[in-house]
């Protein structure tokens, strides 16, 4: 098994998203957006009302992150992942309009998995507890929508060599389940 990461330039195409399998180590470079549950709810409300979204979703990757305050001289504060299941009620709607990548921590629900399979999206896990290290991969961070949400506002992030692992893929592969099975076999 190769440990050198698969290098991907964002935004993600459906072809690239579908080419990834659970367990792949990936290095993302380019633009992604940060958004958590409050933003997801607002985005879905805008869609329901037929209103335009403040960012283009098609081909994008969303990082489920709320940064800590930025220290002087830094681009962003600690930038660790948040628990992804809080976005599960909204993610299928965004996947259906073109969201291709999601980054967070923890397993996704069956509704998200079905949307990923249907529309060719991928879920990446970032390492919880490594927020300061992750922040080093973020070269630019700018609030682009919902500034009233403070740390939960949508940020446009320019990332370089942002390492993640494919946790759940568009084929139903699930590292959370497969990892447990491999551990059981080894014991």
Burial class (CB in 10 A: 0-12, 13-18, 19+), 92: buried
> Does the pLDDT at position 2 exceed 60?
no
**In a domain? residue 64:** yes
Q: 150-185: per-residue pLDDT in tens? A: 888 999 999 999 999 999 999 999 998 876 666 556
Query: Could you tell me the two tokens for 8?
Result: 């991907």
**In a domain? residue 182:** yes
In the chain, the number of structural domains is 1
> Does the pLDDT at position 80 exceed 90?
no
Sign of the CA dihedral with 138 first, then 63, 78, and 107 last: negative
Assign 75 a pLDDT band (cuts: 50, 70, 90): confident
**In a domain? residue 101:** yes
**Cα–Cα distance, 65 to 54 (Å, whole number):** 18
**In a domain? residue 92:** yes
User: How are beta strands 61-63 and 25-34 bridged, if at all?
Assistant: parallel
**In a domain? residue 107:** yes
CATH of the domain at 43: 3.20.130.10
The DSSP annotation for 62-123 comes to EE-B-PPPPPTT-SSS---B-BGGGGTTTHHHHHHTT--EEEEBSPPPHHHHHHHHHHT-EE
**In a domain? residue 1:** no
Query: Could you tell me the two tokens for 36?
Result: 């958590």
Of 3, 40, 119, 171, the catalytic one is 40
Told to judge if 171 belongs to the known catalytic residues of this protein, a careful annotator would answer no
Q: Which pLDDT score, from 0 to 100, does residue 41 have?
A: 96
The verdict on whether omega for the bond into residue 11 sits within 30 degrees of 0, i.e. cis, is: yes
Q: 117-159: per-residue pLDDT in tens? A: 999 999 999 976 667 778 889 999 999 999 999 888 999 999 9
**Closest among 37, 173, 177, 165 to 101, alpha carbons compared:** 165
**In a domain? residue 152:** yes
Q: Which domain holds residue 153?
A: 6-186
**In a domain? residue 82:** yes
Query: Could you tell me the two tokens for 4?
Result: 């050198």
């Amino acid at each position: 098994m190769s440990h050198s990461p698969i290098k991907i330039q964002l935004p993600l195409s459906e072809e690239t998203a579908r080419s990834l399998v659970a367990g792949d180590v990936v290095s993302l470079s380019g633009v992604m957006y940060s958004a958590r549950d409050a933003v997801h709810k607002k985005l879905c409300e805008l869609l329901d009302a037929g209103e335009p979204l403040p960012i283009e979703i098609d081909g994008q990757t969303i990082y489920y992150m709320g940064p800590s305050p930025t220290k002087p001289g830094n681009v962003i504060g600690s930038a660790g992942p948040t628990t992804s299941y809080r976005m599960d009620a909204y993610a299928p709607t965004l996947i259906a309009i073109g969201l291709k990548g999601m980054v967070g921590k923890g397993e996704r629900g069956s509704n998200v998995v079905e949307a990923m399979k249907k529309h060719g999206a991928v879920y990446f896990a970032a390492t919880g507890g490594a927020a300061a290290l992750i922040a080093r991969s973020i070269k630019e961070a700018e609030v682009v929508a919902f500034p009233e949400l403070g740390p939960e506002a949508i940020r446009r992030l320019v990332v370089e060599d942002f390492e993640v692992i494919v946790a759940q893929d568009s084929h139903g592969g699930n590292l959370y389940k497969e990892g447990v099975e491999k551990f059981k076999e080894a014991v």
